[in-house]
Amino acid sequence: MTFPAFLFYTFAALAVLSAVAMLMNVRNTVAAAMSLVITMVALAGIYVLLEAHLVAAIQIMVYAGAIVVLFLFVVMLLNLRSDDFAPPRQRLVKLVGALLGVFVMSELLRAFGGLPEFRPPPEGFGGYRQVGIALYTDYVLLVEVSSLLLTAAIVGALILAKRKID
C-alpha cells in the first residue's frame, strides 16, 4: 500500500467511524457535534489527497469552523442536557434509515463497475485560481443568483430580529 493510499484509508475510516459516533451520541448533542467536526476534517483530508486544496480549506473553514460552532452555540444557549430529550420514535426512524442505507449501498456497489479510467489532473487543478476563473466566467450567473439569495436571507433575518425588539 502506498503512503497516499494509507492516508486515504485512514481518513475514510475516521470519517465513517465519527459519522457513526455522531448517530450513537444523538442524545448528547455536544458530543454529536464534535463527532460531526471530526467527519468534516477527515473529509477535508480526503479532498487534499484529491488535489482539491481550495475545497479542503473551505470545508474546514466553513463547515468545521463556522457551521458546527453555530450548532454548539445554540446547544449551549439552550443548555440542553441528555435527559431533556424524550426517547425518539424508534420504529419508523429505524425503518426509514435502514431503507436509505440499503439504497445508498446498492447505488455505491452499482457505481463501482462503471468507474472511469484514472487520469492525473491538469496542472493547478483545484487551486484557487482555477476555481475562481470557473466561478466568474462559466458559472457567473449562478454565483450572482446565490449572492442574491444570501442577501434576501440576511434581510429576512434582520426583519425577524427587529420585529421582536420593536
Partner 1 sequence: MPVEVLIKTVFILIVVVAALAPVITWIERKQSAVMQDRIGANRADVGGITLLGLLHPFADVVKLLSKEDVVPEGANRIMHLVAPVIAAVPAVVAYAVIPFGGVYDFGGEPLSLVVANPDWGLLYIFAIGAIATYGTVIAGWSSNNNWSLLGGMRASAQMISYEVTMGLSVVGIFMVFGTLQLQDMAQAQDTTFRVFGFLEYLGLHLPPWLGRFPFVLPAWGIFLQPLSFILFLTTIMAENKRPPFDMPEGESEIIAGYHLEYSGMRFGLFFMSEFIEVVVIAGLVATLFLGGWTIPWISQEAFIGAVAPIFGVGFATGLCLVVHFASFMVKVIVMIWLQMALRWTLPRFRYDQVMDLCWKIILPLSIANIFVTGAVMLLVRGQP
- Residue ranges in contact with partner 1 by CB under 8 A: 30-31, 34, 37, 41, 44, 53-54, 56-58, 60-61, 64-66, 69-70, 72-73, 76-77, 79, 124, 127-128
Q: Minimum Å distance from CB 103 to partner 1?
A: 33
Say how many CA atoms lie within 13 Å of 90 toward its Cβ: 1
Closest CA to 76 of 19, 33, 119: 33
Nearest to partner 1 of 17, 60 (CB atom) = 60
- Closest approach, Cβ 46 to partner 1, in A, equals 15
Residue 10 or residue 82: which is nearer to partner 1 going by CB?
82
Between 78 and 105, CB nearer to partner 1? 78
CB closer to partner 1, 76 vs 102:
76
The C-alpha cell at 163 is 420585529
Q: Cα–Cα distance between 122 and 127 in angstroms, integer?
A: 11
C-alpha cell at 94: 429505524
Cell numbers at 141, concatenated: 450567473
> What are the distances in angstroms from CA 38 to CA 5, 15, 20?
20, 7, 11
Q: Nearest approach, Cβ of 140 to partner 1 (angstroms)? A: 14
Residue among 14 and 72 whose Cβ is closer to partner 1: 72
- The maximal CA–CA distance of the chain, rounded, in angstroms, is 64
Are 68 and 40 a contacting pair, CB within 8 Å? yes
Nearest approach, Cβ of residue 43 and partner 1 (Å): 13
Residue 105 CB, shortest distance to partner 1, in Å, is 31
> Are 113 and 58 a contacting pair, CB within 8 Å?
no
